[in-house]
Structure 1
Amino acid sequence: MAEDTNSENALSKLNRLERAAILLMSLGEQDAAEILKHMGPKEVQRVGTAMATLTNINQTQVEGVVSEFLEAVSGQTGMGLGSDAYIRNMLTQALGTDKAGALIDRILLGGNTTGLDSLKWMESRQVADLIRHEHPQIQAIVVSYLDADQSAEILSNFDEKVRLDIIMRVAALEAVQPAALHELNDILERQFSGKAGTQTTSMGGVKVAANIVNFVDSTMASDLLEQIKEVDEDLGTQIQDLMFVFDDLVDVDDRGIQALLREVSTDLLVVALKGADPTVQEKIFKNMSKRAAELLRDDLEAKGPVKLSEVEGSQKEILTIARRLADAGEIVLGGGGEAMV
């Protein structure tokens, strides 16, 4: 019994990403490489970083991670290895719900990497250079298709006028004809290889534009919003209303905050709260147990100076989790019972 308790205590010190890294390292190079082949660029980067930064991992923790994984899949047999349920359970257990979601969809839908998907593996500056001389509508389609944080980085590599034009087109974009999307994929695949996708015709819109602006540097986002309003005040207001920043968490109900906290690691939360408004900090504290809140306060006080870019990065990572929970209907972002995602 004492041995089980020690194992649980050792395991509790590891977040899901660290557990995934330990599990992959336990599998050996060849098997781990086979798993990584099925991951997207962000998953590979995050798990790879976790592997590189793991220190002081003891045998008890390794055994705990492997045991936890085996227990999660123990109800499956060799005949069930191809089932959707097995794949979902295995990847969710290994990577966590947030990180496994996109990977699960890609595997279960049988989707191949399209020309557009290939861009996700590139540096944002490279993507910006690739589309710099394309028609603005092509630029808008690419920016709409990629994840909001990557699209925000891509936009930062353009001058103000181009940035404004692209985000306006993203907001106005509702659907892309399949033939046009296939043609764009074909163009990109001639450079990156791969197979064309067969669907994905609905993209863009005011919500997508708002999500992208959310990830743009705060000063740049403010300037961009002002420029949009100069061209179309109603559109600028719609985008601003749909944006959701970290300080807006104060308007999320207690139940929503508690659901969010279950998905966020303490280390991430400490950095994010370093630059947060005191009202947001108090909102977080009051939705934790008294002991957990005291420990978090102590961690905040003990935490040394943190770069603003690190604070903003941590806050945006938490907001990404919040938007995922909101899209799943688990929490409501914004006051008045209206989702603002």
Structure 2
Amino acid sequence: MAEAQAKPASPSGLERAAILLMSLGESEAAEVLKHMGAKDVQKVGAAMATLSNVSRERVNEVIDRFVEELDSQTSLGVGADDYVRRVLVNALGPDKATGLIDRILLGRNSKGLEALKWMETRAVADIVRNEHPQIVAIVLSYLDPDQAADVLAQLPERMKGDVLMRIARLDGIQPAALRELDEIMEKQFSGGGNLKSSSVGGIKVAATILNLMDSSQEQAILAKIGEIDQDLSQKIQDLMFVFDDLADVDDRSIQTLLREIATETLGLALKGADPRVKDKILRNMSKRAAEMLVEDMEARGPAKLSDVEAAQKEILAAARRLADAGTIVIGGKGEEFV
């Protein structure tokens, strides 16, 4: 008797996502992809591009499994946490989903310092503005860099340089001291905290926060720190990645970055940019795309400096995001910034 034909291996989560999106149709798939990050879109897109000769049986298997996942949730609120975890992992993959799961499932009951991550930056600034600068430094080090940058920008001018200098000088904090600070924050707005790490602060954290602030504030804060500790100010600058540093990024990384940036944003950012940066960007575009970009820049006319800086910040934020994901390598004055 002939042996039964081996059953094809079950598709991976990434392959199932690709098959499901391909079966949805272009417009529906596009709507789903809009809610995914660049890294995940690249992964799913690559998986979709490699699909070939997918049998109707396999498509039905993927769709049936998806329907089963939905049908298994017979009552709203029952097993909701597990459902959220499964949906996010299936949609985003385990790496990206982990942090988001923590913020969603742990964040709703967060207290103390952890709860600050869920507050509006203006509210956080109001809470800490009357605290000792050392406490403010620890709090900002505990926040996500973009949130910390927004909070720092809203603090009194006299505090900004002092706080960032203290962030740069932080070399971790004892768990007991962190718990005590958490209790202080809890009394400020009621909470309790679920602290996971005492490794906060440092020069790299200070540089990252400063990178996310307006250029005018960057220079003012660095100048203030330089008046007190010129060596520390220089160390922070050495770890910063500014728009002109794009000229030193390798071509492959530039090409990857350009896929993340809208043409309108790119054209605005290049107005008044260092010629080396402009040349680097144009050389890594197709001839036609480069010509269209130059034409668009010439037709646009003068632009506000604040708009140009905002566009440059957007590109730098995308570069740091890709670098953090390991997709590209960027450098700050010769040193790796990942």
TM-score by length of 1: 0.67
Name whichever of 114-123 and 232-241 sits farther off: 114-123
Cα gap change, 1:114 to 1:299, in 2 (>3 Å):
farther
Distance 1:217 1:337 in 2: 23
> Quick one: which amino acid aligns to residue 252 of structure 1?
V
Q: Shift in Å at residue 237 of structure 1?
A: 1.2
Query: 1:90 aligns to what?
Result: 91
Query: 2:169 aligns to what?
Result: 172
Query: 1:256 aligns to what?
Result: 253
Deviations 1:71-128 (A, max 9, x none): 9x85853359859685245147xxxx9xx94x64130685333433433454444322
Residues 241, 340 of structure 1: 8 Å contact kept: no
Query: 1:146 aligns to what?
Result: 143
Query: 2:335 aligns to what?
Result: 338
Q: 1:111 aligned to 2:112?
A: no
Q: Shift in Å at residue 242 of structure 1?
A: 0.5
Deviations 1:187-214 (A, max 9, x none): 4345555652230221110001111222
SS in structure 1 of the partner of residue 260 of structure 2: coil
SS in structure 2 of the partner of residue 198 of structure 1: coil
Q: Shift in Å at residue 315 of structure 1?
A: 1.6
Deviations 1:222-276 (A, max 9, x none): 2322232232222111101001111110110101111212222334323322343
Distance 1:75 1:292 in 2: 43
> Quick one: which amino acid aligns to residue 88 of structure 2?
I
Query: 1:328 aligns to what?
Result: 325
SS in structure 2 of the partner of residue 282 of structure 1: helix
Query: 1:59 aligns to what?
Result: none
> Quick one: which amino acid aligns to residue 219 of structure 1?
S
SS in structure 1 of the partner of residue 337 of structure 2: coil
Deviations 1:285-339 (A, max 9, x none): 1112223223323333343544332322222222122122223333222278631
Q: Shift in Å at residue 171 of structure 1?
A: 0.6
SS in structure 2 of the partner of residue 20 of structure 1: coil
Deviations 1:159-179 (A, max 9, x none): 444222211110111212333
Query: 1:297 aligns to what?
Result: 294
> Quick one: which amino acid aligns to residue 129 of structure 1?
D
Residues 15, 265 of structure 1: 8 Å contact kept: no
Residues 115, 193 of structure 2: 8 Å contact kept: no
Q: Which runs of 5+ in 2 are unaligned?
A: 1-21, 37-58, 71-81
Residues 242, 332 of structure 2: 8 Å contact kept: no
Distance 1:15 1:250 in 2: 35
> Quick one: which amino acid aligns to residue 205 of structure 2?
V
Distance 2:102 2:120 in 1: 27
Distance 2:195 2:127 in 1: 23
SS in structure 2 of the partner of residue 213 of structure 1: helix
> Map of 1:1-341 to 2, 5 A cutoff?
19-20=34-35, 74=63, 77=66, 78-79=68-69, 82=83, 87-91=88-92, 101=96, 104-107=98-101, 111-112=106-107, 113-190=110-187, 192=189, 196-303=193-300, 305-334=302-331, 338-340=335-337
Query: 1:39 aligns to what?
Result: none
Q: Which runs of 5+ in 1 are unaligned?
A: 22-69
Distance 1:195 1:331 in 2: 39
Alignment: residue pair count: 277
SS in structure 2 of the partner of residue 202 of structure 1: coil
Cα gap change, 1:199 to 1:172, in 2 (>3 Å):
same
Distance 2:86 2:288 in 1: 37
TM-score by length of 2: 0.68
SS in structure 1 of the partner of residue 288 of structure 2: helix
Identity %: 51
After superposition, the CA RMSD in angstroms is 3.7
Residues 114, 195 of structure 2: 8 Å contact kept: no
Residues 245, 333 of structure 2: 8 Å contact kept: no
Cα gap change, 1:15 to 1:287, in 2 (>3 Å):
farther
> Quick one: which amino acid aligns to residue 35 of structure 2?
A
Residues 275, 308 of structure 1: 8 Å contact kept: no
Query: 2:42 aligns to what?
Result: none
Distance 1:74 1:175 in 2: 49
Distance 1:224 1:337 in 2: 23
